[in-house]
Structure 1
Amino acid sequence: MHNISSQKVIDLLLDAVCIVQEDSRIVFVSAAFERIFGYTPQEVVGRRILDMLHPDDLAATQGQVASIMAGDLQLQFENRYVRKDGRIAHIRWTARWLPDRQVRLAVAHDITERKRHESLQAALYAISEAAHATQGLVSLFEHIHEIIGRLMVATNFSVALRDATSGELRYAYHVNERVAAPGAPLCSDSRCAEVVRTASPLLITPDTRHGWSVQTPPADAVPQARYWLGVPLRSESGVIGALVLQSYGEEGAYTSADQELLQFVSTQVATAIERKQIHEHLRQMAQFDALTRLPNRMVLMDRLQIALERARRDGTLVSLLFVDLDDFKRVNDTLGHAMGDLLLQRVAGRLHGSVRASDTVARLGGDEFVVLLESGRQKDHAHTVANKILAAFSHPFDLEGNVLQIHPSIGTALYPVDGSDAAALLDHADRSMYLCKQAGGGAVQPASAPAVLEAPTL
């Protein structure tokens, strides 16, 4: 036992012993250095250890070196180094300066696994927080992309979700440096389909590409990623989609360790997605008409209030069109409620096609619709749009072979002439519509006499 040399004892240590000169040039490292940093002692003696440091940690490390050189004992300093294989090693150092030898003696303790565990826990917490704090699925996916990017290279990141009705895979989120987001969100990547079908992760590298049995997209279709990693998104209801990472170079040389990590966080991601989908479904139910998918009265009044505030500030006009179908009850009575519902859906489509994307078409209930127009200073804007609607209704509706000619009665109201608040304007448009209906329908009842339709004085 007493014959074992000090060199052999040092080489038995799990921590790496390092001796470096004042300029950080390495004089000696123990055998554990290779396990922690990836380099053999022969490869690093004579090199500057700071050259292997993660660039983001250089300033803090130089400050610690200056403190040690001044005589302080360093016991708990942590920083990161870039291993020979490109991965990051997290190190906790114990170090001191030996003035008689003019060298620093340091011991490197590998805390990479501890840091990885802390990062994973932080990621899981961040994903859970994002599910509560973000507005909408796109915002959630942006946050998830950022969170996963802290764990590994995630320059090219996609979320493909399976449609619950059709079973089709669609891109809910797609960021790729080589391939633009598809115009149609349908995901035709057979690798994604394989991940979802088998409910198993898939890692494709240059070494395994030829052994993969599933047909990949044609080489001329999209640039081929050098590394491709996909994991299923599992929930209690089954596999709802896939998370995909791609890399076109060695900076994202994904390994089985990356696969395990992505698979670990994917469960939390799936939970967050389902929670957000449920929230959005409830929001849709609360704010949008289930039959026509148009905003309901609550949303209309909210948007009208905002429009009025803007009009008061800018001195502009706001118009309302109250649209009611003539003889709608006859459709339900003769063709049944299913055809009546289909007619309402078609009416919603024609109303939408008659206005700008910035305008609001809402369904109040039954066959009553309201169009909200921010008219600027155009006093005849409402009349112009109403005539477009009448023109759209001049064509018959084909309801599964039942051809009907349906006409609307349209009442109008103009802010500030016909009311100064939302309720007054809606009431005026409603009364105008009934006047139109009493006159025979199929026309527009003006909001007020033309003489008072002047824009407000600014």
Structure 2
Amino acid sequence: GNPPGVKLLGYNFPKEIIGKNLAKDFYYIPEDRKIFLEELKKRKGIVKDYEVTLKRRDGTPVTVSTSSHYYYDEKENIAGVEGIFVDITKRKQSEKLQQALYNISKAANSPITLDQLYKTIHQELSTIIDTTNFHISLIDEKENKIYFSYYFDEKDDISSIQKFDFSNTLSANTIRTKRPLLVNRKKINKMAEERKIKLSQLGTLTKKTLWLGVPLKVENKVIGCMALVCYYDLEHYSKKDIQMMEFVSTQVATAIERKRTEEILSKSQQEFI
């Protein structure tokens, strides 16, 4: 075995992996081991920069790039496989992120409706973060109100709610402060005590609710908020996720603003005819 590879997967000593089943314990998808070995055979015992997802000790996936080869015994029989593994999880994540941003921008410039754009944004972001519960709220400048233009949620359906006051929601707070927010149930209760939000305006709250929201800004003006909610895991989103959501928010805000302007224009042209 190779100690660095061992460390990469979260084991401290090579002896901790003795007696483990390679495919089952170290491959995120056990069948991938077989595919890897077939590839090795096909390429006459040498692979370079082969990508595969392995499994860390704690069960989480890690994408690696491996250059591996057969090693032989004295009789020139294949004795096993050895190689180096490089963790490329970050690189893969970054590629996915760039792809998602590109696709959102492409969608904003294609002849689709604003509603279709929201669905595209939702779908694209789901490739880089858990978007099971995904909300976009915008400011209606004329009415000086906040409304949810896209609300996808496993617990609540707000499509039936008309003329509701959302001015003291977590999204509204994010819009007002112009800063990202990551809060658990405890912090949500504290914010309510401090009158920053009203619990009556929030949707379902579980003991393990975790809410992450980032402001949507075009140039320096906040036009809305994009939020994610998890109802069952207080560790589900982290500071890293805030940074990533902030990073994509610029592209998302620009895309929405572009489509909104487009729809207002075509509406006014139709009225003009």
With structure 2 as the length reference, what TM-score do the two structures score?
Answer: 0.82
1:335-350 equivalences under 5 Å are: none
Cα offset, 1:30, TM superposition: 1.4
Q: Which residue is equivalent to 2:265?
A: 282
2:178 is matched with which residue: 192, 199, 214? 199
- 2:143 maps to amino acid: S
| Shift in alpha-carbon separation, 1:49–1:261, aligned structure 2, 3 A | farther
Higher RCO by CA contacts (8 Å cutoff, separation 6 or greater):
2
The CA distance in 1 between the partners of 2:63 and 2:39, in whole Å, is: 21
Q: Which residue is equivalent to 2:147?
A: 170
Encode CA deviations 1:370-413: one digit per residue, 9 max, x unaligned. Answer: xxxxxxxxxxxxxxxxxxxxxxxxxxxxxxxxxxxxxxxxxxxx
Encode CA deviations 1:165-201: one digit per residue, 9 max, x unaligned. Answer: 2232111001111212341264466211111111111
Contact 2:174 2:213 in 1 (8 A): yes
The CA distance in 1 between the partners of 2:201 and 2:261, in whole Å, is: 39
Which structure has the bigger radius of gyration?
1
Contact 1:134 1:140 in 2 (8 A): no
- 2:204 maps to amino acid: V
State yes or no: 1:62 paired with 2:34. yes
Q: Which residue is equivalent to 1:184?
A: 161
Contact 1:169 1:188 in 2 (8 A): yes
| Shift in alpha-carbon separation, 1:114–1:184, aligned structure 2, 3 A | same
The CA distance in 2 between the partners of 1:236 and 1:260, in whole Å, is: 18
2:48 is matched with which residue: 64, 75, 81? 75
The CA distance in 1 between the partners of 2:93 and 2:155, in whole Å, is: 30
The CA distance in 1 between the partners of 2:12 and 2:185, in whole Å, is: 27
| Shift in alpha-carbon separation, 1:221–1:272, aligned structure 2, 3 A | closer
The CA distance in 1 between the partners of 2:243 and 2:58, in whole Å, is: 19
The CA distance in 1 between the partners of 2:107 and 2:144, in whole Å, is: 27
RMSD of aligned residue pairs (Cα, Å)? 3.0
Partner SS, residue 102 of structure 1: strand
| Shift in alpha-carbon separation, 1:242–1:79, aligned structure 2, 3 A | same
| Shift in alpha-carbon separation, 1:47–1:203, aligned structure 2, 3 A | farther
Q: Which residue is equivalent to 1:322?
A: none
Encode CA deviations 1:29-83: one digit per residue, 9 max, x unaligned. Answer: 415643x33444465443334334344xx55552221233575211111122344
Contact 1:202 1:230 in 2 (8 A): yes
Partner SS, residue 160 of structure 2: coil
Partner SS, residue 66 of structure 2: strand
State yes or no: 1:222 paired with 2:196. no
| Shift in alpha-carbon separation, 1:37–1:160, aligned structure 2, 3 A | farther
Q: Which residue is equivalent to 2:216?
A: 233
Q: State, as a whole percentage, how many aligned pairs show the same letter.
A: 28
The CA distance in 2 between the partners of 1:163 and 1:94, in whole Å, is: 55
Contact 1:175 1:181 in 2 (8 A): no
Q: Which residue is equivalent to 1:53?
A: 27
Contact 2:180 2:246 in 1 (8 A): yes
Cα offset, 1:227, TM superposition: 2.1
Cα offset, 1:248, TM superposition: 2.0
- 2:249 maps to amino acid: S
Q: Which residue is equivalent to 1:347?
A: none
Name segments (4+ residues, structure 1) moved above 6 Å. Answer: none
Cα offset, 1:128, TM superposition: 0.5
Q: Which residue is equivalent to 1:302?
A: none
Q: Which residue is equivalent to 1:114?
A: 91
The CA distance in 1 between the partners of 2:144 and 2:57, in whole Å, is: 45
The CA distance in 1 between the partners of 2:17 and 2:36, in whole Å, is: 22
Q: Which residue is equivalent to 2:9?
A: 37
| Shift in alpha-carbon separation, 1:155–1:53, aligned structure 2, 3 A | farther
Instruction: Report how many aligned residue pairs link the two structures.
Output: 260
- 1:222 maps to amino acid: T
| Shift in alpha-carbon separation, 1:165–1:126, aligned structure 2, 3 A | same
1:5-404 equivalences under 5 Å are: 19=1, 29-31=2-4, 33-34=6-7, 36-41=8-13, 44-51=17-24, 52-55=26-29, 59=31, 61-68=33-40, 71-84=44-57, 88-100=61-73, 102-184=79-161, 186=164, 187=166, 190-205=169-184, 214-215=196-197, 217=199, 222-224=204-206, 226-236=209-219, 238-250=221-233, 253-288=236-271, 296=273
With structure 1 as the length reference, what TM-score do the two structures score?
Answer: 0.51
Contact 1:179 1:223 in 2 (8 A): no
Contact 2:184 2:234 in 1 (8 A): no
